[in-house]
């Protein structure tokens, strides 16, 4: 959990001290707009239109981050907010969400890691260059999604009764090139390989069901 505590602490500090910040308001970036700096908000969302270029990171506390199709952004970090990536979005960094889910539409490319805490991960026809990791979230990979690293179920040092079962669904020709690694043996993990979904590496400490 060290990374999560650090992430939440650093995010809060950045939002407080950064002059480019919205408080109690939503930040909108219009279709086709280019923005060089980071976008930070507290108690508001970040809504990025289609065909946009965002040169800095986007961070929100208590708000969603939505990225329109064909846009190019850097790292996305949300606490208590959903992250949604529309068609053909490129993320040149990591995607991290705490207490909400990460969703992507077809043709999305993520050059870093994907991480959730207490939130599901749903990737459709998406490429992730590094790892997909979760604390207490289900994972669904569909429509030829490809993970070039590992899927990691992180160790939860909190209340183990919060979520005792977790599912990973790899479907419709989706591929995990690395391993599936379960670091919390107090959570029962089931991996569903459906309609040609496969894991090229090892599957550790999880039940595997093929359909």
Residue 17 has pLDDT above 50, yes or no: no
Pairing mode, if any, of strands 121-124 and 102-104?
parallel
In the chain, where the domains are located? 2-210
Contact 117, 97 (CB under 8 A): yes
**Could you tell me the pLDDT band of residue 157, with boundaries at 50, 70 and 90?**
low
Structure-token pair, residue 159: 């209340």
Query: Could you tell me if residue 74 is left (phi over 0), alpha (psi between -120 and 50 degrees) or otherwise beta?
Result: beta
> Is the pLDDT confidence value at 15 over 60?
no
The pLDDT of residue 83 is above 50: yes
CB neighbourhood size of 23 (10 A): 12
Distance (Å, whole) CA 195 – CA 175: 11
Q: How far apart are CA 190 and CA 79, in angstroms?
A: 27
- The residue that leads in pLDDT, 169 or 24, is 169
Site of tokens 């965002």: 54
Which carries the bigger pLDDT value, residue 139 or residue 157? 139
Q: How does pLDDT run across 114-131, given as a tens digit for each residue?
A: 999 999 999 999 999 999
Q: What does residue 158 show for φ and ψ, rounded to 5 degrees?
A: -95, -140
Average pLDDT estimate for 106-117: 98
What per-residue confidence (pLDDT) applies to 6? 45
Mean pLDDT for 122-142 is 97
For residue 34, count CB atoms less than 10 angstroms from its CB and return exposed for 0-12, middle for 13-18, buried for 19 or more. Answer: exposed
pTM: 0.90
User: Distance between alpha carbon 103 and the CA centroid of its chain, in Å?
Assistant: 7
Q: How far apart are the C-alpha atoms of 134 and 96, rounded to whole Å?
A: 10
């Amino acid at each position: 959990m060290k990374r999560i505590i650090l992430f939440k602490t650093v995010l809060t500090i950045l939002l407080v001290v950064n002059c480019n910040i919205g408080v109690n308001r939503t930040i909108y970036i219009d279709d086709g707009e280019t923005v060089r700096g980071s976008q930070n908000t507290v108690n508001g969302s970040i809504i990025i239109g289609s065909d946009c270029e965002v040169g800095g990171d986007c961070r929100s506390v208590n708000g969603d981050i939505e990225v329109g199709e064909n846009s190019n952004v850097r790292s996305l970090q949300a606490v208590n907010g959903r992250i949604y990536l529309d068609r053909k979005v490129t993320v040149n960094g990591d995607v991290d969400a705490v207490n909400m889910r990460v969703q992507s539409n077809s043709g999305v490319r993520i050059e870093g890691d994907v991480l959730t805490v207490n939130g599901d991960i749903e990737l459709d026809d998406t490429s992730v260059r590094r790892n997909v990791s979760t604390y207490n979230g289900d994972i669904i990979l569909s429509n030829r999604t490809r993970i070039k690293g590992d899927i990691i179920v992180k160790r939860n040092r909190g209340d183990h009764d919060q979520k005792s079962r977790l599912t990973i669904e790899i479907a419709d020709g989706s591929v995990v090139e690395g391993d599936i690694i379960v670091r919390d043996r107090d959570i029962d993990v089931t991996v569903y390989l459906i309609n040609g979904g496969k894991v090229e590496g090892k599957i550790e400490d999880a039940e595997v069901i093929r359909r």
